[in-house]
Amino acid sequence: MQAENNEAEMTLNDIISKLSEYGVENPREEAFLILEETQGVSRAQIMLDTQKTYTGSRIFEILEKRKERVPLQYILGKWEFMGKEFFVSPNCLIPRPDTEILVEKALTFLKKGDHVADLCTGSGCIGISLSLYKPGIDLTLVDISSGALEMAKRNASAHGIDARFILGDIRTSLSNEKFDLIISNPPYIKTHDIQNLSPEVKKEPILALDGGDDGLDLVRFLVSDCPRHLNDGGKMIVEFGYDQENEICALLSSATGFSSYQILYDYGKNPRAFIIYK
């Protein structure tokens, strides 16, 4: 492929080959997504003739950005979460399937009229998904990043969701409010581990990644302070790293302000989140 020849023809396998050359983790999956997006064809149509050639400058623009390891999600400007499409940008964390376990668990007990706070909301995908699948909840979205909060507002508007938006540090933004559910995917990567992340993840906002020396700066705050923001019978669900279960259990075992806790596991059987019961 020549970058300057934007009308050269490429097959599915040509695109897979280029993505593999660039070090992309799932080149075949991304090749399908690129063709679906740029050609307006379905995966089934692509599979019917894998030797079919495709043209168009958009393919080459995407490949050039993937060569620089810009995440495909940011290039496309959107990504799927809980079966819904959300706008994304470098101002917010990219939604990931593993995070869906938080939403799925919350939906088992949420009811109409419940007050819900999505802290470190980013794109808003967690809180907005809860509102989409459990209409009638009272939703508050909080983030310290103005760019992330603007993306959350855009997604809420796109999905017709009413929410309150708070720009600020979650450690000072809740005042004396109380909620039936607090849910959060906070930054939980250890500062010194960030240098070892993939090139794509390194292009995500550092505010959404860096959890301090042990990765638990905000998690520790959530455990120690946020139970007081729960109504009686309320719950808090917080995501953490797959390798942090021992530290999380030690933290929860020594904390106060709630009656019990539970560790949630994702579909890969990795510890993914904890839920606090008040």
Phi/psi region, residue 264 (left: phi>0; alpha: psi -120 to 50; beta: rest), is beta
- pLDDT for 2 equals 44
Residue 233 lies in a domain: yes
Q: Position 30: which residue type? A: E
Q: Is the domain of 41 the same as that of 116?
A: no
145-204 pLDDT, tens digit each: 999 999 999 999 999 999 999 999 999 999 999 999 999 999 999 999 999 999 999 999
Q: For residues 34 and 65, give the distance between their C-alpha atoms in angstroms, rounded to a whole number.
A: 12
- Amino acid 7: pLDDT: 59
> How many distinct structural domains can be found in the chain?
2
Burial class (CB in 10 A: 0-12, 13-18, 19+), 86: buried
Q: CB–CB of 254/219 below 8 Å?
A: no
Q: What is the CATH number of the domain that holds 121?
A: 3.40.50.150
Helices (H), 232-275: 245-254
The pLDDT, as a whole number, for residue 3 is 44
Share of the chain above pLDDT 90, in %: 96
Q: Check whether residue 104 and residue 156 sit in a common domain.
A: yes
| C-alpha of 33 from chain center | 19
pLDDT tens, position by position, 215-240: 999 999 999 999 999 999 999 999 99
The reply to whether 209 and 161 lie within a common domain is yes
Residue 213 lies inside a defined structural domain of this protein: yes
Residue pLDDT, tens place only, 8-29: 789 999 999 999 999 999 999 9
Run of H or E residues at 167: strand 164-167
Please report which confidence band the pLDDT of residue 73 belongs to, taking 50, 70 and 90 as the band edges. Answer: very high
Residues 54 and 126 in one domain: no
Q: What six digits make up the tokens of 105? A: 């668990």
First to last CA, the chain: 59
Query: Is 131 within a domain?
Result: yes
Residues 36 and 116 grouped into a single domain: no
Q: Are residues 49 and 95 in the same domain?
A: no
Do 229 and 184 fall within a single domain?
A: yes
- 55 and 86 belong to one structural domain: no
Q: Which domain holds residue 28?
A: 12-68
